[in-house]
Structure 1
Amino acid sequence: MTSPATTGILEEIDAVLFDLDGVLTPTAEVHMRAWSRLFTPYLEARGAAPYTDADYFAHIDGRPRYEGVRTLLAARGITLPDGDPSDAPDVETVCGLGNRKNEEFNTVLATEGVVAYPGSVRLVDALLAGGRSVAVVSSSKNAPAVLAAAGIADRFDVVVDGAVAAELGLPGKPEPDTFRHAADELGVPPGRSAVVEDALSGVTAGKAGAFGLVVGVDRGVGADALLAAGAGVVVTDLAELLPPETPAPTSPEDAQ
């Protein structure tokens, strides 16, 4: 049920910029499994503290892939050369490890697939029906493949993913540049745009970009943490942002 705190909260918003993983699709779970498959044996072989889900939320969630590798390794006091994005997955570099994680992700996605959150699809469709603009802003270079696998690619004319950011030289989240670029592509100023994010780095980016609204989606980070990072409101399902359904008009006969 829509809560009074969120009813009509998007009324002054002309464009909504959605993160993908954990917001539109439950691919955050796929990413979490892929990161675990990468770092659990890697850290064990290094004699470092074991990898946990808390590491994902603290060091990886929402960041570009190579930055996630770099940040996690730094938390364990491990330094590797950056290498090059063309590095093979077995190369001992930041890019090599990132590419190894991507292989794991694609394997899980291909074998298990992905289904979009029903409440998220309902909100996107309601926004489009109401003449609002929507975009996807994701740190992942896999965003187009995930949107296609979930069957919702046709709803988004603007997708700013990791590949677009790299091509344009845009810094990733927690910087606001990718969100600002999406708003520019839609022709809507940030003050009339909303950012919808489940990751602390994404919420921080939305706050830093002076957007009209930052919505936190609590998929495990915690409402308090999302609010502290800059979310104006936190929901557990995007259907909570839908306006209440208007009751059908009563006919004169029914009123008698």
Structure 2
Amino acid sequence: MERNELGVPANTAALLFDLDGVLTKTAVVHAKAWQQVFDEFLDGRGEPFDPVHDYEEYVDGKPRADGVRAFLEARGFHLDEEQVREIGDRKNDLVLRLIEQDGVRAYEGSRRYLEAAREAGLPCAVVSSNANCQAVLDAAGIADYFSVRVDGNTLKERHLKGKPAPDTFLAAAEELGVPADRAVVFEDALAGVEAGRAGHFGYVVGVDRTGEAEQLRRHGADVVVRDLAELVSRS
């Protein structure tokens, strides 16, 4: 398959990026917040939350409520919707506090890749289950690179299914006026690469920040990189 200067198929017409862990160094913030709220809930009643394995397996990339259900059901707990909402809200409050305290930084390789995409004239969308997506983009100083944003608020407004369903990525491609088979998905989450594969996108790039390259490949990534800058050097 012929690659362009961005290391993706030559016929690519749009780039669709996940946010946390792909563009910004906020995945670790989310993992830390999930660990705190889940361990508070479990309080010795089950195996504690693993901020690497459990984060990837149950919550990363998914809508907040889906992540709460997936993890706690795996530990044998079945909560009502009010309890799910309360845990999700608690986690969101913690994330916002941590971001306010520590700030937000974009990965330098991702920033360089976005600049290269702009120079190549390829439109970009950010696709995230994070309801605070715009605030994170603004804080990281990369909002201007994206002409389309599909986030946690969009999911609710349009009643879209979250990842691993492909709905959010498909919505972003549609807004950009590009067919799925000419769009590239960039994801660090197992649920995200599954969504890219399920949506029959032209190419799925797995971004391995935590040493889970093989899992990303098994779940649907065409290629796995540690940093987006690697794609430019490979092309």
What's the TM-score, normalizing by structure 2?
Answer: 0.94
Give the letter aligned to residue 163 of structure 2: K
SS for the counterpart of 1:242 is helix
8 Å contact 1:179–1:206 — kept in the other structure?
A: yes
1:166-191 residue CA offsets vs partner (Å, 9 max, x unmatched): 10011000000100000000011101
Distance 1:33 1:8, change over 3 A: closer
Would the alpha carbon gap of residues 8 and 62 (structure 1) be closer, same or farther in structure 2, given more than 3 Å must change? closer
Cα 1:132–1:243 change in 2 (3 A) is: farther
Moved over 3 A (4+): none
Stretch deviating more after TM superposition (149-158 or 188-197): 149-158
Alignment of 1:159-238 (within 5 A): 159-220=149-210, 222-238=212-228
Q: Which structure 1 residue ranges, 5 or more long, are not aligned?
A: 84-92, 246-256
Of structures 1 and 2, the larger Rg is shown by: 1
The question of 1:151 aligning with 2:141 is answered yes
Q: Distance in 2 between matches of 1:57 and 1:199?
A: 6
SS at match of 1:16: strand
Conservation of the 8 A alpha-carbon contact between 2:8 and 2:184 = no
Percent of aligned pairs sharing the same letter: 50
- Please say if 1:48 is aligned against 2:46: yes
Offset at residue 221 of structure 1 (A) = 5.2
The amino acid that maps onto 1:61 is D
Asked if the contact 1:10–1:241 (Cα under 8 Å) also holds between the matched residues in 2, the reply is no
Aligned partner of 1:142 in structure 2 is 132
Over residues 190-217 of structure 1, what are the superposed CA-to-partner deviations in whole Å (9 max), with x where a residue is unaligned? 0110000000000000000000000000
**Partner SS for 1:195:** strand
RMSD of Structure 2 on Structure 1 (CA): 1.6
CA distance in 2, matches of 1:137, 1:60: 16
Equivalent-residue separation in structure 1 for 2:7 and 2:137 (angstroms): 27
1:1-256 correspondence runs (5 A) = 8-44=7-43, 47-53=45-51, 54-83=53-82, 93-220=83-210, 222-242=212-232
Instruction: Structure 2: state its 5+ residue gaps.
Output: none
**8 A contact 2:26–2:104 mirrored in 1:** yes
Is the 2:14–2:182 contact (alpha carbons within 8 Å) kept by the matching residues of 1?
Answer: yes
Contact 2:6 2:116 survives alignment (8 Å): no
Distance in 2 between residues matched to 1:177 and 1:184, nearest whole Å: 10
Q: C-alpha separation between the residues in 2 aligned to 1:123 and 1:210?
A: 23
TM-score by structure 1 length? 0.87
CA distance in 2 between partners of 1:213 and 1:221 (Å): 21
- 1:11 deviation in Å? 2.4
* Paired residue type of 1:49: E
CA 76–114 in structure 1, closer or farther in 2 if over 3 Å, else same: same
Aligned mates of 1:203, 1:106 — CA distance in 2 = 26
